[in-house]
């Protein structure tokens, strides 16, 4: 009995350590739509999977991606890469809300977004997922069309947000470069960065050792 208890406790500790070792993904993801596509060829039928996915950092950035592959895992990976490529940065207010009313039409889908002060998130379906993953608050979202196509509704929502969005740029950490002082010939008080092998344009913050 004691041996069995020891084995179970070891297994629990291993599970805990493995879960803590995992790195947190850069963006949160939500699968909007996944469907199986059948293509009829001369030899029979070929099956593939199509995935629509939303990715966001909950800090004002969100993207919609599509992926197609013979396997669901490959299709999801493709959709994640596509969502990162289509990522946009939203110009939100200090309260993480939109500055004014937005609306857009895509195909037969029509979506409207409106700021509402201190009422929280009032939206459903795909609009709620996009707003949640982008980190927006105090917003009312409405799908005013009768379309049940989630992908078209998501595209209409992203099109509405394009009015207040700009291209997403990955944040770069401030690097401190320490360069030893190399005097120029004929002028010992001037430091040359090129002589150390560092171009002047690449230097952000510079600390010069005397």
Q: Structural domains in the chain?
A: 28-167 (3.30.160.20), 176-209 (no CATH)
Distance CA 7, CA 13 (A): 10
- Residue 94 Cα distances to 33, 148, 167, angstroms: 32, 33, 20
- Buried b / exposed e over 72-111, threshold 16 CB at 10 Å, is eeebbebbbebbbebbbbbebeeebbbeeebebebeebbb
Could you report the per-residue pLDDT of 122-174, keeping only the tens digit for each? 888 899 999 999 888 889 999 998 988 999 999 999 999 988 888 877 766 54
Q: Which residues have a Cβ under 8 Å from the Cβ of 116 and sit 6 or more positions away?
A: 122, 138, 139, 140
Could you report the per-residue pLDDT of 103-114, keeping only the tens digit for each? 999 988 999 999
| Cβ(155)–Cβ(129) below 8 Å | no
Whether 79 shows a pLDDT value over 60: the answer reads yes
pTM of the model: 0.67
pLDDT computed for residue 8 by the predictor:
56
Higher per-residue confidence, 22 vs 45: 45
| Cβ(30)–Cβ(157) below 8 Å | no
Q: For the CA atoms of the chain, what is the radius of gyration?
A: 26
Count of Cβ atoms closer than 10 Å to residue 181 Cβ: 13
Distance CA 27, CA 84 (A): 9
The pair phi, psi for residue 17, each rounded to 5°, is: -65, -40
Helical spans, DSSP H, in 25-114: 72-85
In 3D space, the residue among 52, 161, 146, 63 whose CA is nearest the CA of residue 112 turns out to be: 161
Could you report the per-residue pLDDT of 53-72, keeping only the tens digit for each? 999 988 888 999 999 999 99
């Amino acid at each position: 009995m004691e041996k069995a208890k020891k084995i179970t406790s070891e297994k629990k500790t291993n599970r805990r350590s493995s879960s803590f070792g995992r790195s947190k993904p850069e963006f949160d993801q939500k699968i909007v739509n996944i469907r199986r596509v059948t293509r009829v060829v001369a030899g029979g039928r070929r099956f593939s999977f199509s995935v629509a996915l939303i990715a966001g950092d909950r800090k004002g950035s969100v993207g919609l991606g599509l992926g197609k592959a013979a396997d669901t895992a490959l299709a999801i990976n493709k959709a994640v890469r596509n969502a990162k490529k289509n990522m946009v940065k939203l110009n939100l207010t200090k309260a993480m809300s939109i500055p004014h009313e937005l609306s857009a039409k895509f195909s037969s889908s029509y979506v409207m977004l409106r700021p509402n002060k201190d009422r929280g998130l009032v939206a459903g379906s795909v609009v709620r997922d996009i707003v949640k993953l982008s980190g927006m608050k105090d917003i009312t979202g409405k799908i005013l069309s009768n379309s049940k196509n989630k992908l078209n509704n998501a595209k209409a929502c992203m099109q509405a947000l394009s009015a207040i969005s700009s291209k997403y740029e990955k944040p770069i950490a401030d690097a401190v470069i320490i360069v030893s002082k190399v005097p120029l010939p004929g002028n010992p008080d001037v430091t040359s960065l090129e002589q150390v092998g560092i171009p002047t344009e690449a230097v952000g913050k510079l600390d010069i050792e005397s």
